[in-house]
Chain A
């Protein structure tokens, strides 16, 4: 009995806390790298790599103003959003099978991922600021447009991989048993390439850069969702955003590029996990380089109607075609 408590409670908790510390640091460092890279692309020198860390420390030491029009949810939302992000880490594939992986946990993953956006919207509309409300409306609109394409794609992939034989179908750990390139038929290869396109666009719209920097438009609606937040709460929300970018990118990396290196180095146990986590982080950075930095440097913001049109008419359709192609020979 005592062994069970240690095995099922203590190890996952310690693992989750360690993962949380690592991911929050890595995601803030990535933000600094991203700002530096974009600055270099614009022939600037750019801020130091640790700039987001300084921003975070500065914000957490500043005065926190709570507007008189705000209600309770305004103060609760940033903490809840961060807590959701931490809980989400337990279901995120980060180079090895997630800590709490079980049958059907893909639902929990999608649910928690959208819950972060939901808390941000809730905090914004509770602030009583009209700009925040515009931002919240835009965030809600773009959220319902971007998630169906991703959900369709991920369910199709998981269902198809399940046919190859796994013990826990529809779990986030599936990607480390079989991957999408193993299905093998030419049709499924084309489908996988189309789905890669779908997921990269989804990732860009999830972290809201380039075309999709619509809800937080600083020049247009004064920061949108974040307009009333200051000090500690702003710091928490910035950290949550950075972690969400890392987590969303982790999903795409796990689906399309799940390969680890611990097998080649003959490592097992904890050291294997650590090596795989570091390698995974490198892959996430490489993916974010294309999807965040380059995309942000070469594109500008769309109107919200254009973005919704694009997400439904282009990305969702592509997701439909890609899902049919990889599911084809099982259906027929």
Chain B
């Protein structure tokens, strides 16, 4: 059976509704296995160490199915640290585009949130939402691992709401 999309966009056709329901059904498994990819956009390494700390046996993020992956292709959640320096600007955009939908972006630390100690530096492009759409901010310089895990939970809750249609979808910048 082929999927027919009506010419008028057909947002109310039953077929489309059924498909959307099905996609939402499938997507609930993202909540059970969020794989994160870590982008370092010129951070001082403080936040990166806290991200690693969140994966250590003490906090054990793997019990929620969280896994740190090596390629943006495998990722569901992007953890961005650092103030987006000029050198990393294009790379951050590229990695964001290379991540398969549905995806969430978490800005970890004061740097991507507002610039932190690099505030108004001509060589950085903070805040991060000038560059790519951000879903959750985790402030702190650096934030504690608990805060990062909380950020992941918030992102997943937001994703669930987007999939149910309660919140408009992430790409507000297009």
B16: interface (CB < 8 Å): no
In the complex the two chains form, is A218's CB within 8 Å of B70's CB? yes
> Roughly how many angstroms separate A230 CA and B99 CA in the complex, as a whole number?
9
B71–A227 CB distance below 8 A: yes
Within the complex, the shortest CB–CB distance from A98 to chain B, in Å, comes to 34
User: Considering only CB atoms, which chain B residue lies closest to A227 in the complex?
Assistant: B71
CB distance from B19 to the nearest CB of A (A): 12
Name the contact of A226 in the complex, choosing from B30, B57, B74 (C-beta under 8 A).
B74
Give the contact stretch, choosing among B41-49, B61-69, B164-172: B61-69
Per the 8 Å Cβ criterion, residues 49-98 of B in contact with A are 57, 60, 62-65, 69-71, 73-74, 76, 98
Chain A residues close to B by CB (< 8 Å): 35, 39, 42-48, 51, 54-55, 57-58, 60-65, 131, 218-219, 221-223, 226-231, 234
Contact A47 B63 (CB under 8 A): yes
Q: Which residues of A contact B63 (CB under 8 A)?
A: 39, 44-47
Q: Do A65 and B26 form a contact, CB below 8 Å, given A42-B57, A55-B65? A: no
A219 vs B101: C-alpha distance in the bound complex, in angstroms?
24
Question: Is B33 a contact of A58 with CB atoms below 8 Å?
Answer: yes
Partner of A61, one of B27, B73, B74: B27
Other than the known A218-B70, A227-B70, what 8 A-B pairs have Cβ atoms closer than 8 Å?
A43-B57, A48-B65, A54-B65, A57-B29, A61-B27, A61-B29, A223-B71, A230-B74
Looking at the complex, which one of B23, B33, B102 makes contact with A51 (CB distance below 8 Å)? B33
**Are B65 and A47 within 8 A (Cβ)?**
yes
Contact yes or no, A65 B76, CB < 8 A: no
Most buried by B among A65, A221, A228: A65
The 8 A CB mask of B11-30 against A (1 = contact, 0 = none) is: 00000000000010011011
Number of B interface residues, CB 8 Å?
23
Q: How far is the CA of A110 from the CA of B70 in the complex (A)?
A: 31
In the docked arrangement, what's the CA distance between A231 and B73, Å? 8
Q: Is B161 an interface residue (CB 8 A)?
A: no
Is B150 in the interface zone, CB < 8 Å from A?
no
B10 within 8 A of A: no
Name the residue on B nearest A217 (C-beta): B70
Q: Which residues of B contact A47 (CB under 8 A)?
A: 62-65
Q: How far apart sit A64 and B64, CA to CA, in the bound complex (Å)?
A: 24
Minimal beta-carbon separation of A185 from chain B (angstroms): 49
Give the A-binding residues of B (Cβ under 8 A): 23, 26-27, 29-30, 32-33, 57, 60, 62-65, 69-71, 73-74, 76, 98, 100-102
CB contacts (< 8 Å) of A227 on chain B: these are 70-71, 73
Least distance between A138 CB and chain B CB atoms (Å): 15
Closest A residue to B37 by CB, please name it.
Answer: A222
B62 and A46 form a contact (CB under 8 A): yes
A64 — which chain B residues lie within 8 A by C-beta?
100
Contacts of B101 in A (CB 8 A): 62-63
Report if A55-B33 is in contact (Cβ < 8 Å); known contacts: A46-B62, A218-B69.
yes
Partner of B100, one of A35, A39, A231: A231
Report the separation of the CA atoms of residues A303 and B32 in the bound assembly, to the nearest whole angstrom: 34
CB distance from B167 to the nearest CB of A (A): 20
Please name all residues of chain A whose beta carbon is closer than 8 Å to the beta carbon of B29 when the two chains form the complex: 54, 57-58, 61
Tell me the bound Cα distance from A223 to B33 in angstroms. 18
16 A-B pairs in the complex with CB atoms less than 8 angstroms apart:
A44-B60, A45-B60, A46-B60, A51-B65, A54-B29, A54-B33, A57-B29, A58-B26, A58-B33, A61-B27, A219-B70, A226-B74, A227-B71, A227-B73, A228-B73, A230-B74
Cβ-closest chain B residue relative to A230: B73
**Residues of A contacting B26 in the complex (Cβ-Cβ under 8 angstroms):** 57-58, 60-61
CA distance A218 to B55 in the complex (A): 15
Say yes or no: A39 contacts B73, CB within 8 Å: no
* A218-B70, A227-B71 known; A65 vs B100 contact (CB < 8 Å): yes
The 5 residue pairs across chains A and B that have the minimum distance between CB atoms:
A61-B26, A63-B100, A58-B29, A218-B70, A222-B70
Q: Which residues of B contact A62 (CB under 8 A)?
A: 30, 76, 100-102
